[in-house]
Homo-oligomer: A and B are copies of this chain.
């Protein structure tokens, strides 16, 4: 039996050339191949990535997060348009492991960024679908490299502030922006612990109309709070600012602060150091994930694990002893 092979595929070199020439249609088709789970596509994807790799990396990568309702799409629309007006080419990707392509992911509905999606200098791609965060994150990071090779010099990676995907986005971007709303603290319910500490910037969004006073108060509160926290490895002190994406207010200040950040970390050497660290971290995450898959995907191991978990919970066996037993089984099974 011959494996199914889609017909309309180009050669790896044709994809590579198309991407390097900034051909949006080829770029989209190449990302589809990266997202594909077909074996033949996986081989093709490897070659494409290998080919564009030397041309990747020359962008500023910005992660943007915030709970649903915070106005992320409106913010990205306003921010993206501002960047394009200032001569940039902007690619917008997203990580949302819960999304199903068929159900439409966060950015699937391009009408939410109506103007931006019509611009030549903007490239919008919805989240890859997939079962595991690791898999989705891999595909997004690879798509990012393709966008960079296609000449997009600003990459915005969006995620929803409710899960571990923030850590993934933080691990592949240079700057991490958290969108929040002013309010009685209720809006925090959706933000997971630790996300605030990753932020290089907190933007109080929807700071307009009746909301202005409250937003000022929130800005000061967050600024004070962040000062109480330990400094980041980058040496950058997180900035709290307010914006009204709807009215296009505050966007310029945000960009100025990001440029200040970029200048500071480039001069200090942190920018490159962090990029290198991220590359290796990406490799190690894949190794460790595959290693776990090799272990936990073993049917004998998973059967024994069910039994051992029960015994550990019942204090019949110590967790350390249980781990040793199952590791010994694994070694024997090899």
A191–B232 CA distance with the chains assembled, in angstroms: 11
A197 contact set on B, CB distance < 8 A = 193-194, 197
Please state if B286 and A295 are interface contacts (CB–CB under 8 Å): no
Report how many copies the assembly holds: 2
Please determine whether B229 and A196 come into contact, CB atoms closer than 8 angstroms: yes
Contact A49 B312, CB 8 Å, known A197-B193, A224-B224, A292-B291? no
Q: Which residues of B contact A295 (CB under 8 A)?
A: 287, 291
- Check if B279 sits within 8 Å of A319, measured CB to CB: yes
Q: Which of A11-19, A22-30, A94-102, A326-334 contacts B (4 or more CB under 8 A)?
A: A326-334
Cβ contacts under 8 Å, A193 to chain B: 197, 229-230, 232
Contact with B along A295-322 (1 / 0, CB 8 A): 1000000000000110011011111111
> Given the complex of chains A and B, what is the CA–CA distance between A334 and B54 in angstroms?
34
Cβ–Cβ contact B53 & A318, under 8 A? yes
The answer to whether B194 touches A323, judged by C-beta atoms less than 8 angstroms apart, is: no
Residues of B within 8 A of A50 (CB): 317-318, 321
Judge whether A1 is part of the interface by a CB distance below 8 angstroms: no
Write the A168-210 contact mask toward B (1 if CB under 8 angstroms, else 0): 0000000000000000010011011111110000000000000
Interface: A271 (CB within 8 A): no
Bound-state Cα–Cα, A56 to B314, Å:
12
Question: Complex: how many Å from CA A191 to CA B54?
Answer: 39
Of the candidates B142, B189, B191, B316, the one whose C-beta lies within 8 Å of that of A320 is: B142
* Closest B residue by C-beta to A334: B334
- List of B residues within 8 angstroms of A227 by Cβ: 185
Asked if B320 and A286 make an inter-chain contact with CB atoms under 8 angstroms apart, the answer reads yes
Cα(A56)–Cα(B195), bound, Å:
36
Question: How far does the alpha carbon of A330 sit from the alpha carbon of B295 in the complex, in Å?
Answer: 13
Which positions in A face B, CB cutoff 8 Å?
Answer: 46, 49-50, 53-54, 56-57, 138, 142, 145, 185, 188-189, 191-197, 221-222, 224-225, 227-232, 276, 279-280, 282-284, 286-288, 290-292, 294-295, 308-309, 312-313, 315-324, 326-327, 330-331, 334
Known: A50-B318, A145-B318, A189-B231. 11 other contacts (CB 8 A): A50-B317, A50-B321, A142-B318, A193-B197, A279-B312, A280-B319, A282-B319, A286-B319, A286-B322, A290-B327, A291-B330
